[in-house]
């Protein structure tokens, strides 16, 4: 009997050990990373700078860049580096105040439709916006699929955005196959906020 109790304890401990808590002001986001994914420690300065320069090129005076982003996590599939990843952060809600949450999602969708100048015009980009409820919180999901027709390859970037305690909270995912899409989506939609 002790052996069975010990096994059950180990199983439940192992199962719950993948769940992590992240603080967004006073709200705790409970998130379980998908199996086969690892925490990636990065210096995001280079990526942030590239993103800032790209937004400035769009010459959109209405969209405000944030300088107070708080990165909560970066998770990647253990055998992948550029796709099959999850990135979560929060920042000030200046854009939500200016445009509303839905308006911010629409602005982001417009932004995602623009291709960098070096993209091949034969590539196809599809962007759609939908509402998703995660633990009773309404998120807008901006989904961008890029098809590289010459290489017979496509990937999707999903951007979940909501407002939590006066902050713009976002989860960005990138995946290139159905199995990883399901794993990533399940980990996000089953997360909770307390």
* pLDDT exceeds 70 at position 10: no
Confidence label for 1 from pLDDT (cuts 50, 70 and 90): very low
Domains of the chain (ranges; CATH) run: 18-193 (3.40.1000.10)
Question: pLDDT, tens digit, for every residue of 21-34?
Answer: 999 999 999 999 99
Q: What is the pLDDT of residue 50?
A: 47
- For residue 90, count other CB atoms closer than 10 A to its CB: 27
Does residue 105 contact residue 142 with C-beta atoms inside 8 Å?
yes
What count of Cα atoms within 13 Å lies in the side-chain half-sphere of residue 54? 13
What pLDDT, on the 0 to 100 scale, is given for residue 127?
Answer: 95
Tens-place pLDDT, residues 93-108? 999 999 999 999 999 9
pLDDT of residue 46: 46
DSSP assignment letter at 65: P
Question: What residues are paired with 126 via a beta bridge?
Answer: 145
Sheet strands (E) in the chain:
19-24, 27-32, 37-39, 70-77, 85-92, 124-134, 137-148, 153-164, 167-175, 192-193
The answer to whether residue 150 scores a pLDDT higher than 60 is yes
Sign of CA dihedral 131, 52, 68, 75: positive
Q: Which residue has the higher pLDDT, 170 or 13?
A: 170
CB contact at 8 A, 190 and 133: no
Residue 19: per-residue pLDDT: 83
Please state the separation of Cα 46 from the chain's center in Å.
18
Whether 175 contacts 184, CB under 8 Å: yes
Strands 85-92 and 167-175: antiparallel
Q: Which two three-digit tokens encode residue 130? A: 């939908």
Q: How far is residue 177's CA from residue 36's CA, in Å, rounded to a whole number?
A: 14
Q: Round to whole Å and give the CA distance between 116 and 175.
A: 20
């Amino acid at each position: 009997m002790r052996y069975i109790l010990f096994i059950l304890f180990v199983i439940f401990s192992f199962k719950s050990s993948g769940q992590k808590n992240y603080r967004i002001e006073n709200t705790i986001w409970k998130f379980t990373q998908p199996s086969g994914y690892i925490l990636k420690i990065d210096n995001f300065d280079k990526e942030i700078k590239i993103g800032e320069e790209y937004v400035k090129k769009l010459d959109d005076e209405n969209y405000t860049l944030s300088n107070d982003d708080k990165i909560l996590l970066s998770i990647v599939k253990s055998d992948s580096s550029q796709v099959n990843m999850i990135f979560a952060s929060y920042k000030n809600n200046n854009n939500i105040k200016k445009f509303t949450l839905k308006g911010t999602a629409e602005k982001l969708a417009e932004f995602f439709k623009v291709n960098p100048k070096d993209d091949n015009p034969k590539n196809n980009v599809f962007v759609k916006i939908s509402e998703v409820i995660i633990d009773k919180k309404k998120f807008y999901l901006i989904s961008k699929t890029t098809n590289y027709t010459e290489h017979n390859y496509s990937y999707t970037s999903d951007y979940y955005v909501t407002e939590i305690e006066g902050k713009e909270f976002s989860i960005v995912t990138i995946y290139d196959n159905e199995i990883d899409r399901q794993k990533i989506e399940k980990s996000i939609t089953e997360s909770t906020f307390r």
